[in-house]
Amino acid sequence: MTPTGGMRVVVALGGNALTGPDGDASPAAQQAAVELAMERVAELVAAGCEVVLTHGNGPQVGNLLTKNELAARVVPPVPLDWCVAQTQATIGFLVVTALERSLAARGLARPVAATVSRVLVDSADPAWRLPTKPIGRYVTEAEAREHTARGQTWEARGPRGWRRVVPSPEPRELLDREVVLALVDRGVVVVAAGGGGIPMVAEGGRLRAVEAVLDKDLSAALLAATVRAECLVIATDVEHAATGWGTPEQRPVGRVDPAGLRALAAAGHFASGSMGPKVEAAARFVEGGGRRAVITSLDRIAAAPAGAAGTVVEPAPARRAR
Ligand code: ADP
Ligand code: MG
């Protein structure tokens, strides 16, 4: 095993670290899930890793959107970017509180901080023309048509009904990088780019928030490159990315280089709304100079930086010079 002491590691937490079983998003279930997840994160810190955290926010934003709708006649609805900011704060405070406690229980006095983080996107991104990311609750066709008349994009998505879709542009730059780096360099365990970050465009020298959703795994790869992490760990609810997922030929992907992983992705092995972006994020991070990216289950993350768990993406061994 590679020694991991002193290794800077970005950990991206998925839905199972933030909600209860069956996606239960009640406050008690969210808090319990975060507390369990922070026990695993504390093990990484105890192993000597410098940890930077990021997280998803799908169910939490979904709940805020529903509140927006139901309360629209009483309280002015807030835009999607406000909802992302609100979830960064709420999830951030749960993470900070739980991780402080798990660290203290191990005798580790490390400060923990959550940041409100904005991520720059390109106003010319092709994603603006093709909203693809489903958000919020399912509604009937009649209700979806009302929302469509008010300018939103809604799509029929099978037997459960219609769902709003929004653009998911490429995360380009962590706008709060100086703050995040200053904290990380001071030994603070930082939470950044939560929910993929609040998407912003630059127009005539001014930043403006936009209604879009950034993919948390792609933003995690950007965050990892920005803080010059050696390892990106994508913590989800399966131990490996697999080929032949859901078929009798299902096989875990173990150690692989980015080109090998991309070849499997091109052959259609990874579903676009779930494993696809994790695989893309892992490949990008390593192609961009990262030492290792690991996709594994939350309970295996302590073994991930050493490459001893999950799907381990590493550069192809350099060809020997002649
Ligand atoms: P998270 O909330 O952690 O970001 P997702 O639910 O988006 O996680 O993605 C993880 C899920 O991806 C797994 O639970 C599994 O159902 C699904 N999945 C799709 N294709 C694959 C695959 N090829 N290998 C493993 N899991 C896959
Ligand atoms: Mg999930």
Beta pairing partners, 164: 135, 154
pLDDT at 322: 58
Model confidence band, residue 224 (pLDDT cutoffs 50, 70, 90) = very high
Decide if 133 is catalytic.
yes
Q: Are 141 and 162 in contact (CB under 8 A)?
A: yes
> Angle at CA 194, nearest 5°, toward 295 and 262?
30
pLDDT tens digits, 37-85: 999 999 999 999 999 999 999 999 999 999 998 998 999 999 999 999 9
Whose tokens are 């490996």? That residue is 240
Catalytic, out of 196, 216, 290, 307? 216
Q: Is the pLDDT of residue 319 over 70?
A: no
List residues near ligand 1 (CB under 6 A).
14-16, 56, 236-238, 241-242, 245, 269-271, 274-275
Radius of gyration for the chain, computed over Cα atoms and rounded to the nearest angstrom: 20
**CB proximity list for 67: less than 8 A, separation 6 or greater:** none
pLDDT at 23: 87
Predicted model pTM: 0.96
Distance CA 6, CA 307 (A): 15
> Of 18, 20, 83, 98, nearest to 54 (Cα)?
18
Closest ligand 1 atom to Cα of 270: 23
Q: Are 192 and 223 in contact (CB under 8 A)?
A: yes
Burial 1-40 (b: 16+ CB within 10 A, else e): eeebeebbbbbbbbbbbbbbeeeebeeebbebbbbbbbbb
Whose tokens are 């504390």? That residue is 42
Q: Is the pLDDT of residue 157 over 60?
A: yes
Decide if 15 is catalytic.
yes
Q: Of the ligands numbered here, which is closest to the C-alpha atom of 57?
A: 1
**What is the average pLDDT score of the chain?**
95
Ion ligand 2 residues within 5 Å by Cβ:
15
Q: What percent of the chain has pLDDT over 70?
A: 98
Give the residue-averaged pLDDT of 142-146. Answer: 93
> Of 21, 175, 25, 162, nearest to 91 (Cα)?
25
Q: Of the ligands numbered here, which is closest to the C-alpha atom of 17?
A: 1
Q: Is the pLDDT of residue 321 over 60?
A: no
Q: What is the dihedral of CA 133, 179, 17, 187, to 10 degrees?
A: 160
